[in-house]
Chains A and B, each alone.
Chain A
Amino acid sequence: MAKVTESKTATACYHCGEPCKEKLIEAHDKAFCCEGCKSVYEILNNTGMCDYYSLTNHPGASQKFKVRADKFTFLDDDAIIKALIHYQDEEHTHVRFYLPQMHCSSCLWLLENLHRLNEGVVRSAVNFTRKEAEIIFKQKEVSLREVAELLTSVGYEPYISLQQLKGERPRIDRSKIYKLGVAGFCFANIMLMSFPEYLGIDAKEQNLTNLFRYLNLLLSLPVFFYSASEFYSSAWKSLKHRFLNIDAPIVLAVWVTFARSVVEILMGEGGGYLDSMSGIVFFMLVGRVLQDKTYEQLSFERDYTSYFPIAVTKLNGDDEQTVSLPDIQLDDTLLIHHQELIPADGIITRGKALIDYSFVTGESVPVEKQMGEMVYAGGRQMGGNIELLVVKEVAQSYLTQLWNRGSSATTIPDEERSFVHLLARYFTWVVFAIALSAAAYWWMNDSSLIWPSVTAVLIIACPCALLLSNTFTNGNIIRILGRNQFYLRHAQAIEDISKVNHLVFDKTGTLTTGRYAAIQYIGTDLDAEVWQQVAALARQSMHPMSRAIANFIKYTSKISVHSFEEYTGRGIEGVVADQIIKLGAKSFVTQGLQDFEEESVSAVYISINNKLVGHFKFQNEYRKDVPSMLKKLKRRFGISILSGDNAGEKNYLQDLLGWNAAILFNQKPNDKLTAIDTLQKHGQTVMMVGDGLNDAGALQQADVGVAVAEDTHAFTPASDVIIAASELPKLPAFIRLCKINRHIVMIAFVVSILYNIIGLSFAVQGVLSPMLAAILMPASSISIVLITYGLSQFYGWKLGMK
């Protein structure tokens, strides 16, 4: 084994903070890891903007991967410009760019000082939450393309996808916030003006009492007609579907309260319960707003258009021309650069392709394709440039169809599956029963008390406490989970997660990082000199396995390789220091030499002068703590693994999960979907955890789909939950917290029932005073808020959450 000592402490790059492993560039008394980082520093230094570096340490993003110089040529196209910008007048153009690299206060400062880098930029404003920058520039002085290139030159490459071309994003719905504001205003004032009524007012001041009552009535109108409309529409919708959701009895209670109060005030009998009514509406709206906290900056509903680039290079004879993606037609010839996505299914007409399909199929090893072979959309070209003859339009490509099939499997998310609706229904029947018996009793004894007692029962027994405890608990749990980078699409996901009893994992990209980290050499010991020769050969190839070997050996010397040959899908050979060295599949390196050992897919063999000396074993790098997480999970859940990759890791995983766990390899996207469907038919509630497009169908088929993302702002397939890859080991704790959610709701509900019993005991006697109602209502609401908040914080803390 080659002994290579790694330098203990690599200097951190001044710009991006990454250790300068491969090379170290020293300039301006600073150390940089690559030319890219250095050039960003120089741009900033020349314009006197080095404050960038004093606000945060190492604020930049690594610039190791250069952006192709003509990448943004498509921004010269008028049609594309028109679709991207959202305002333009004689002088100024407004454009909004999504900049995923934005992450710290330095970024904010630099991006808002763009006008100092380029005179043409008038102003730029950053929305940090959404990672967007709104840039206003003078189109006569600087073009859109130049603005994008300016951003790229300082390390913030705008992410422009096809989705942006298709139209405006939906506007954020702020109506609930307005309703909340109005309800809060009215509630507080009604409370204030109810005090004279409760605390007693001189009989002489009867006029004043009436004034207060009518003012209350006036103030309650916006609450009743505007703020509470939130609940009316929801209740009406559920009734139309012949389903009684929790909002229906609440609406009933609000109406009864309002009706009785109006009658009392107009008849001059009393002040009514307007303060209780507006209080209930206010608190319930607070709960709704908290629960509906959505992660605006994350997109859960993505389609293939957000995955594709916006434009590609089309070849017209010798002319290069940029066309936007929907304009690609059959028989067009496209030029695909290194690291670009293949936008449509096609046939390679020039160049050698090395295509990374890991996102589409889950295979971790890039596939080599020769001229004349078919390549499918969605793969990423890793070698040099290739030319491609389009045989299918974008909308009909394999990838697009994969997506459409996935989405057709979805059922409309039913927001009314929650157990609180069921509970509310039982609760409503009980309340009706109590109201009826109270009415029957007073009908026999004192019929004048029927109206006050029945209305009081309906007012007091409104299941708002149940709704409150549910919405506040959900809201809290969502926020705790969000702080831990486990983002839920909606509150119903909490309950869905708590019911899960079977977990299905994808392998590549989910359990593993998708990189080869662990390489092991097995075979005869070789001299350091021979190792360098092997590395010299490996360096000749672009194949990731060769690159990994070259890195593994740490090539330091300069040895020339003669008659180098690369055989697609098999291996490489070359003459190094008068020895024929071969690297590759076993059958390739041992031509003629017979061996009966089983061939492993994740191994590369070496032969020197046709003599087999040993092989490298490649192991996927598992995410930190993931194996221990799987061990923890297998005690409580059924676990399956569905991988699109080869079976190289089967033994390891089987050992980890025990022999009864289903571990399937070489799974096509459709196989995954059917596997989940089969599990569900056997009565399992399935959570699918995956990352790639090949999981898209399975994620939607599963009861809960969890998308794993290295960067939560980057592209993920449509799902119910997005989890940051680094937080994946916390998954058991997240599931646990979702289960606890239900207990917290129940505890809070029981407490509120106690208040209800007190209130009801007065109500059935027909003696519920408005003051008692006014005390009970906020008391129960506030105690519910405190209980749910305290309990969820406590359990979150106990489970080790931030």
Chain B
Amino acid sequence: MSVIIMLLIASISVAALFLGAFIWSVRSGQYEDEMSPPVRMLFDDQPSKKTT
């Protein structure tokens, strides 16, 4: 029985963690622009300073 209660606490806290993560991601505006992040990650960081 105590095992079940332990599991219960674990499962709910993990779920709550995800809920928290979801709310945080909405609040930080991650769903506002769905176009640029997937493109942005493909850019090289600072290619050579001077090319000809």
Contact = CB atoms under 8 A, between A and B. Distances in A.
B18 A185 contact: yes
A517 B27 CA distance: 51
Contacts, number: 64
Contacts of A207: 1
Contact of B33 (A109, A129, A182): A129
B4 interface: yes
A194 B21 CA distance: 25
Interface residues of chain A: helix, strand, loop or mixed (majority): helix
A174 B26 contact: yes
A130 B19 contact: no
A177 interface: yes
B6 interface: no
A50 interface: yes
Contacts of A181: 19, 22-23, 26
Contacts of B39: 105, 108, 128
Interface string B1-37: 1001100100110011011001100110001111110
A658 interface: no
Nearest to B42: A105
B26 A128 contact: no
A48 B47 CA distance: 9
Contacts of A112: 40, 43
B32 A208 contact: no
A185 B27 contact: no
Interface in A536-550: none
Contacts of A215: 8, 12
Contact of B32 (A172, A189, A193): A172
B7 to A, nearest CB: 11
A50 B51 contact: yes
A48 B51 CA distance: 5
Contact of B15 (A51, A55, A188, A211): A188
Nearest to A204: B1
Contact of B23 (A128, A178, A296): A178
Contacts of A51: 44, 47
Given A112-B40, A181-B23, A127 B33 contact: yes
Contact of A178 (B11, B26, B40, B49): B26
Contact of A126 (B5, B12, B36, B50): B36
B23 A109 contact: no
A799 interface: no
Contacts of B44: 51
B27 to A, nearest CB: 7
A29 to B, nearest CB: 12
Interface in A108-135: 108-109, 112, 126-130
Contacts of A108: 36, 39-40
A128 B31 CA distance: 12
A192 B11 CA distance: 10
A431 B52 CA distance: 78
Contacts of A130: 32-33
Given A48-B50, A211-B5, 6 more contacts: A48-B47, A50-B51, A55-B43, A109-B43, A126-B33, A128-B35
29 contacts: A48-B49, A50-B51, A105-B42, A108-B36, A109-B43, A126-B33, A126-B36, A127-B33, A127-B36, A128-B33, A128-B36, A128-B39, A129-B33, A130-B32, A130-B33, A172-B32, A174-B26, A177-B31, A181-B19, A181-B22, A181-B23, A181-B26, A185-B15, A185-B19, A188-B15, A205-B1, A211-B8, A215-B8, A296-B32
Interface of A: 48, 50-51, 55, 105, 108-109, 112, 126-130, 172, 174, 177-178, 181-182, 185, 188-189, 192-193, 205, 207-208, 211, 215, 296
